[in-house]
Amino acid sequence: MEEKLAQLKTKLAEIVDLSQAAALLGWDQQTYMPPAGAEARGNQQAVLGRIMQEWATAPELGKLLDELKPYGESLDPNSDDARLIKVTAKDYAKATCVPTEFVVEFAQVTSLAQQSWVEARQKSDFSIFQPHLEKIVELRRKYASFFPGVEHPYDALLDDFEPGMKTEDVKAIFSALRPQQVELIKAIAEKPQVDDSFLHQPFDEQAQWDFGVEVITKFGYDWNRGRQDKSAHPFTQGMALNDVRITTRVDPNFLNSMLFGTMHECGHALYGLGSSPALDRTGLEGGASMAVHESQSRMWENLVGRSLPFWQHFYPRLQEVFPSQLANVSLNAFYKGINKVQPSLIRVEADEATYNLHIMLRLEIEIAVIEGNLAVKDLPEAWNTRMQEYLGLTPANDAQGVLQDIHWSFGGFGYFSTYALGNLVSAQLWEKINQDIPALDDQIRAGQFENLLGWLRTNIHVHGRKFEPQELVQQVTGSKIDPAPYMRYLGKKYSEIYGL
């Protein structure tokens, strides 16, 4: 069996190599590729997608997995090899449901769509993107049809990003969370609003960039294994275990965009760089799910980056970088300002108390579109209506509304709910981390993140994809994904800031 296991690992390594080559092409498309290269890039991605699909569904791979199944069941169920056989068998079963020609078409369509989205967003004109999105929705519905056994067509899409999670599970979690968040927001609205005007003024772009680099270097981002570039929508892309890159964007008149976007993407990258070397080129490197990934990015962005201990360390340095803007702004005023609660149009710049409402809005829209109850042409109106219902705001244009996120352009239906789930997981993990590292606040106050990163490496990062998200969260915290720790965190934090 050792020989057959070695054969399996060799085949998987080649598939992973192709996948990472495709990832590099995707990274380039969103950073440095000239716009006219979109069609050629679509063809390149289609060819790679076809080859990967053929290899991932090859009968000899299925035969190997069948032969290895009894061996895998004889091993420690949590061992790398047992999990490799189990997870690969699930991946194989899922991949064999999807025709190769579909994979090729999807790669071509989404490559063109991403370039179209960039143009549509720049011009704030949904009609430019609409025909591409209509094709993507058609393909997403078709994809769901390849899995007739699912309870809801959206389950098939959700499983791509959140293995094992069902649409009804997410709805139940959000139903429990929504009224609590709405109640908190109403309580805050009755209190005097904090001032954040000092965040909305000119900040030199290069100085912002350099400060962000300084912060994430202290977090532990390894520049020998990564880099940072600019993109229209910040993202993280892993090309290999030792090559995980991030992007950010810089607003010359608003400090938060770069500041927290950079920390957020660094959190993703730290996760990607933390997989066990034993999992490299097996398909088990990376992360358990997008919710677990988001728990890492939101943790570094919010629980660390928006905390008072963090700024007790970094604020004097930020004042040195921007003396004319911040010299007369106290630490307490700055801390309150970056944590101001106010319904806003842009998801990535939303405060912690209102952020999940942005996600719930998108989940409702996605489900309605996949079910066929909402036409793509009606998305701008539906978006604006729900924004008014959820947050009391109406976007002035498409760029502020339906075009603000890149996810639909790459076919990422099923992705958005993982952001809110990630918030919940981050708070669950944070409670456990503080139990295990009682002096954590003092360490953050001193600009020391080694123990925090070490805990995450040991308990989360090292496992890669070995465990499904609910399984991993329960293993580490003792319970499945639970909104309670998140609401405790928000309640305590905003009671102190707003005097609730």
Enumerate the active-site residues. Answer: 265
Q: How many CA atoms lie within 13 A of 88 on its CB side?
A: 33
Of 262, 340, 348, nearest to 300 by C-alpha is 262
Note the Cα 139 to chain centre separation in Å: 22
Of 63, 52, 186, nearest to 498 by C-alpha is 186
Q: Taking the CB of residue 28, how many other CB atoms lie within 10 A of it?
A: 14
- In the numeric block, the tokens 């940072």 are attached to 228
Q: Taking the CB of residue 13, how many other CB atoms lie within 10 A of it?
A: 13
- Report the distance separating Cα 123 and Cα 398, nearest Å: 9
* Cα angle value 410/462/435 (rounded, 5°): 110
Q: In the numeric block, which tokens belong to residue 314?
A: 């970094």
Quick check: 500 and 187 in contact, CB under 8 A? yes
Long-range CB contacts (< 8 A, 24+ apart) of 384-388? Answer: 386/361, 387/345, 387/361
Quick check: 443 and 451 in contact, CB under 8 A? yes
Burial of 68 (0-12, 13-18, 19+ CB in 10 A): buried
- Report the distance separating Cα 457 and Cα 80, nearest Å: 16
- In the numeric block, the tokens 């399984």 are attached to 471
- Report the distance separating Cα 362 and Cα 372, nearest Å: 15
- Report the distance separating Cα 468 and Cα 480, nearest Å: 11
Q: In the numeric block, which tokens belong to residue 374?
A: 């909402």
- Report the distance separating Cα 231 and Cα 261, nearest Å: 11
Q: In the numeric block, which tokens belong to residue 33?
A: 């590729």
